[in-house]
Amino acid sequence: MSFRPSIVLAVLLALAACKEPPPPPPTPAPRPAEPQRRYFGGTPDGKLHVYFFDVGQGDAALIVSPDGYTALVDAGPPNATEHLVNRLPELLTQRLDLVILTHPHADHHGALEAVLKRVGARQLMEPQLGATPKAYDALLATVARQGVEFISPSPSPATPNALQRLPLGAGVALTVLWPRAPTEPLLDVPEAALEANSVILRLTYGDTAVLFMADAHARTVEHLLTRNAPMQATLLKVASHGIDGPTSEAFLSAVAPRAAVISAGEGNLIGAPSPATLERLKAAGTQVFRTDEHGEVQVVSDGKTLVVTPQRLSEGVPEDTRYSYPGLGTPMPVPFRADGSKPSPGRGTASSGRGYTLDLEDPAGEQTRPSRGGSRARMGSASSRVTVGTYVGSIHSDKFHKPTCRSVMNIKTANLVTFATRQEAARQRKPARDCNP
pLDDT digits (tens, 9 = 90+) for 376-424: 333 222 233 344 346 788 888 888 887 766 677 677 666 777 777 787 7
Q: Which residue has the higher pLDDT, 426 or 416?
A: 426
Q: Are 199 and 225 in contact (CB under 8 A)?
A: no
> How crowded is residue 142: how many other Cβ atoms within 10 Å of its Cβ?
14
Indicate if 311 and 361 belong to the same structural domain: no
285 Rama sector, left if φ>0, alpha if ψ -120 to 50, beta otherwise: left
Which H or E run contains 14? helix 5-18
pLDDT at 251 over 90: yes
Judge if 148 and 258 occupy the same domain: yes
Together in a domain, 261 and 155: yes
Residue 104: closest CA among 193, 165, 179: 193
- End-of-domain residue from the set 326, 349, 367: 326
Task: Look up the domain containing 380 and give its range.
Answer: 357-431
Q: Edge-to-edge strand order for the sheet containing 391-394?
A: 416-419, 391-394, 399-401, 430-431
Q: Are residues 262 and 392 in the same domain?
A: no
On whether residue 38 sits in a domain, the answer given is no
pLDDT, tens digit, 9 for 90 and up, residues 174-228: 999 999 999 999 999 999 999 999 999 999 999 999 999 999 999 999 999 999 9
Same structural domain for residues 376 and 235?
no
Same domain (yes/no): 140, 229: yes
The tally of domains found in the chain comes to 2
Question: Domain check: are 255 and 200 in the same one?
Answer: yes
What is d(CA 111, CA 82) in angstroms, rounded to the nearest whole number?
Answer: 8
CB atoms within 10 A of CB 149: 14
Q: Is the pLDDT of residue 1 over 60?
A: no
Instruction: Tell me the pLDDT tens digit for each residue of 74-123.
Output: 999 999 999 999 999 999 999 999 999 999 999 999 999 999 999 999 99
Q: For the chain, percent helix, then strand, then coil, each to nearest 5?
A: 25, 25, 50
Asked if 237 and 210 count as a contact pair (C-beta separation under 8 A), the reply is yes
Amino acid at 26: P
Q: Residues 231, 378: one domain?
A: no
Look at residue 41 and tell me if it is in a domain: no
Is 338 within a domain? no
Which parts of 311-356 are beta strand (E)?
A: 323-326
CA pseudo-torsion sign 90, 209, 129, 152? positive
Q: Clarify whether residues 288 and 367 are in a common domain.
A: no
d(CA 403, CA 390): 7
| pLDDT above 90 coverage of the chain, percent | 58
Cis amide prior to 182 (ω within 30 degrees): yes
In terms of domains, do 198 and 303 share one?
yes
320 and 417 together in one domain: no
Please report the DSSP string for 25-39 in residue order.
Answer: PPPPPPPPPPPPP--
Cis peptide bond upstream of 273, omega within 30: yes
Whether 138 maps to a domain, the answer reads yes
For 246, counting Cβ atoms within 10 Å of its Cβ (0-12 exposed, 13-18 middle, 19+ buried), the class is buried
419 in the same domain as 362? yes
Last residue of a domain, one of 326, 343, 377: 326
Boundary residue ending a domain (279, 303, 326): 326
Instruction: Quick: pLDDT tens for 310-352.
Output: 999 988 888 889 999 999 876 554 443 334 344 433 322 223 3
Pairing of strands 70-75, 60-64: antiparallel
Q: Is residue 300 part of a domain?
A: yes
387 class by beta-carbon count within 10 Å (0-12 exposed, 13-18 middle, 19+ buried)? buried
Write the single-letter amino acid at 146. Answer: Q
Longest Cα separation, the chain: 139
345 occurs within a structural domain: no
